[in-house]
Amino acid sequence: MSSHPGERTLVFGGSGFLGSHVVAEIGPEGVVAGREEGIHAGSRRAGFRKVDALVPEEIGRALDSVQPARVILCTALSSLADAEAYPGLARALNAEFPCQVAKACARIHARLVHVSSDLVFGGRDPRPEGFREDDPPAPISEYGRSKAEGEVAVLDAYPDALVVRLPILYGDSFGRGRGASDSLLAAIERGERPMLFTDEWRTPLDVANAARVLVELAGTDASGILHVAGPDRVCRYELGLLVLRSRGMGEDAARAAIRPGTRAEAGVEDERPSDTSLDSGRARSLLLTPLLSIREALR
């Protein structure tokens, strides 16, 4: 990351699945802001500021206290089921909170990188290479709608901010069973045989790779919207097979461990889009960090 000694990077949501990797990537100049301090010593955090995302006054106080040069915003209500059940909370955390952070960053001229999602799409099919940054959002879930609203709110409040749309993430969750791979492995360990969709297409990215990219982008002046995703377009079932093979399972054992199914069979066809693949061509032209394929990341 391009920075000067003593400059701080404040990470909202720094104890989460993605945020913990971001903090670890930043090292001693990172500061976690959130309800929880963190989950592993390897993050080498320099500090912690307790912030309740539902209390707007605490946001400004945290930024005034830390005086960060950069802010990376990973906080979100990211569960699709929770967002459907609690739409008001989804809007508060995914739209209103990012807007308040953007206003506070603009006030102190701190660099802001805000994490959004490929699930702002879904209401229409992507072009063959995936959705581009200038394709209009068309979310079909409460989560996607709240994230799309948050994007607009952030850029309206702080046009110099960067909104990074990420895909589904997989990789090490430090034993917490989070993300597309660890949640699958945890379910199998519990004796379950999870259903994975053959009709839901994504462009997955390793969580550590995503964190490195976010930290690199925080050191640039890129603004607007940027798509950052892996180069592979796969269905959830295929991703599951790749994860299990990377853990030493043979083909037959991997196929026995998970069930192929459709969104309609699971009763979630209305909330889960069929294809939210992202075109990351612009990101690849800007980044020094490579966007890893699934096989590269899992080997």
Query: Where are the chain's structural domains?
Result: 9-171+205-231+276-292
Q: What is the pLDDT of residue 172?
A: 93
Reported in sequence order, the residue ranges of 24-152 that DSSP labels E, i.e. its strands, are 30-34, 47-50, 70-73, 111-117
Q: Is 237 a catalytic residue?
A: no
Q: List 72's β-bridge partners, or say none.
A: 11, 113
Where are the extended beta strands (E) located within 87-233?
A: 111-117, 162-166, 169-170, 195-197, 201-202, 205-206, 224-227
CA separation for the pair 189, 41 (Å, rounded): 26
* Pairwise CA distance, residues 154 & 95, whole Å: 8
**CB within 8 Å of 127: residues ≥ 6 apart:** 135, 279
CB 213, CB 283: distance < 8 Å: yes
Q: Secondary structure of the chain: what % helix, strand, coil (to 5)? A: 45, 15, 40
CA distance 132 to 167: 13
pLDDT tens for the chain, residues 1 to 299? 444 546 899 999 998 999 999 999 998 889 998 877 665 544 555 588 889 999 999 999 999 999 999 999 999 999 999 999 999 999 999 999 999 999 999 999 999 999 999 999 999 999 999 999 999 999 999 999 999 999 999 999 999 999 999 999 999 998 899 999 999 999 999 999 999 999 999 999 999 999 999 999 999 999 999 999 999 999 999 999 999 999 999 999 999 999 999 999 999 999 899 999 999 999 999 999 999 999 999 98
Catalytic residue among 86, 143, 158, 170: 143
Long-range contacts of 137-140 (CB under 8 A, 24+ apart): 140/270, 140/271, 140/272, 140/273
Q: Rounded to whole angstroms, what are the CA distances from 227 to 59, 118, 162, 235, 284? A: 27, 8, 11, 19, 9
Superfamily for domain range 9-171+205-231+276-292 = NAD(P)-binding Rossmann-like Domain (3.40.50.720)
What are the backbone dihedrals phi and psi of residue 295, each rounded to the nearest 5 degrees, phi first?
-65, -35
On whether the CB atoms of residues 20 and 214 are closer than 8 A, the answer is: no
At residue 227, what are phi and psi to the nearest 5 degrees? Answer: -95, 125
pTM for the structure as a whole: 0.94
CB 143 within 8 A of CB 117: yes
Which of 193, 159, 285, 180 is CA-nearest to residue 235? 180
